[in-house]
Amino acid sequence: MTRTAVARAPGRVNLVGEHTDYNDGVCLPIALPQDTVARVSLRAGDRISITSAQQASVWTGDLAGCGPGRVDGWVAYVAGVLWALDQEGYDVPPGLDVHVTGTVPLGAGLSSSASLEVAVAVGVLALTGRRLDESERRRLVQVCRRAETEVAGAPTGGLDQSAALLTEPGCALLLDFQDGSTATVPLGWTAAGLELVVIDTGVSHALTAGDYGARRRECEDAALALGLPSLRDADEDAVRRLADATLRRRAAHVVSENARVLSVVAALDRGSWTDVGELFTASHASLRDAFEVSCPELDLAVDTALAAGALGARMTGGGFGGSAIALLPADRVDAVRRAVDTAYADAGFRAPRHLDAPASAAARVVEVSG
């Protein structure tokens, strides 16, 4: 019987802390119930095949053909992980069949790509008999980041891979990208009669497109102008010293967003749900007006959810499309969804997709056989 490992890895919602990860800042993601399943099997010889239930194309090649500049599109997120595992000294069998399937909506700002990378990495690890302990999970965050930045060409910051590997059910994960520390933050809102929902605008965003990289460069330029290693070390006074108005807006977002993450954690701890909601909404305003990564569909979802009774709402993820989240009383969920559907129809936007967002489990091995 062919030796096979099956692994799952979730998509994520970032509760708050947007565009902070690559600025050595703080973020607060949860894992979603939607995930990617990777089935990784040994095969004789040195050929690798990569297939997906969601894609018609089949990729075949060898490990040497998995590296930077050799693969593109969705395959790069799978092949890139095999390459990065090999680069980081893991034992990657030369002959493999990798098949993936998933329920994380693609291009919805819910990290379908990180869930794909992580499912494949965990699958290969299980196939080669390595245990997925805490330190291994942290190493895999770096492996999957290398795949995404060096092979897929998306200059992202580590939030998504960390969320897929390190979260716990019922909890958010406080990530500090300056010192690498993490803390589990229990979410008491379900017991308080609240629910978090996702509104997928259907406007697809690609992080390999230029806007995300442009924002990242602006943040680096702002830190450089201030003589700081990163914007994590900036404060409001420093932001005021920036001569360039665009850089000032970008830096103002990052500085205020880091503060909001810590305020949300404190408000969650106190059970101050209205404060949590207001901080979410303030984060959205900052991303819309100062960081300028929202879009009309996201703004309409947020405004409509708030008008229909949400405590707070904001875009989540990189922006330029993707999804919004809203925190609301469980008995308002249907009313909010209907209001958003109506507002979208009135605006002539494509109908949005609604998802529930209970904080779910991180990546795991499902089975190893053969």
Shortest reach from residue 198's CB to ligand GLA, in Å: 14
CB of 247 to ligand GLA, least distance (A): 18
Q: Which uninterrupted H or E stretch holds 31?
A: strand 29-42
Please say which residue, 160 or 200, places its beta carbon nearer to ligand GLA. 160
Task: Give the whole-angstrom CA distance, residue 9 versus residue 122.
Answer: 8
What minimum distance in Å lies between the beta carbon of 293 and ligand GLA?
Answer: 8
Catalytic residue among 160, 235, 346, 356: 160
CA dist., res. 12 & res. 161, Å (int)? 9
For residues 160 and 36, the answer to whether their CB atoms sit within 8 Å is: no
Cβ distance to ligand GLA smaller for residue 207 or 326: 207
Local structure of 13: helix, strand or coil: strand
Alpha carbon distance 171, 30 (integer Å): 7
Interacting residue ranges for ligand GLA, rule: CB under 6 A = 14, 18-19, 21-22, 156-160, 207, 317-318
Minimum Å distance from CB 154 to ligand GLA? 7
Give whichever of 109 and 194 is closer to ligand GLA, judged by the CB atom. 109
Q: Which residue has the tokens 């008008």?
A: 307
Smallest CA-to-CA distance from 85 within 153, 37, 139 is with 139
Backbone φ, ψ for residue 118 (5° rounding) = -70, -40
The sign of the torsion formed by the CA atoms of 207, 208, 211, 216 equals positive
Spatial distance between the Cα atoms of 2 and 4, rounded to a whole number of angstroms = 6
Place of tokens 């990208």: 177
b/e code 100-130 from CB counts within 10 Å (16+ = b): bebbbbebbbbbbbbbbbbbbbbbbbbbbee
Q: Which is nearer to ligand GLA, 260 or 332 (CB)?
A: 260
Q: How far is the CB of 257 from ligand GLA (least distance, A)?
A: 9
CA distance 256 to 3: 50
In the complex with ligand GLA, the residue whose CB is nearer, 19 or 332, is: 19
Can you list the positions of beta strands (E) in 28-79? 29-42, 48-52, 59-61
Indicate the residue among 40 and 290 with the shorter CB distance to ligand GLA: 290
Query: Is 235 labeled as catalytic in the residue annotation?
Result: no
Ranges assigned E (strand) in 129-274: 171-176, 182-186, 194-200
For the CB of residue 340, give the shortest distance to ligand GLA in the complex, in Å. 22
**Catalytic residue ranges:** 160
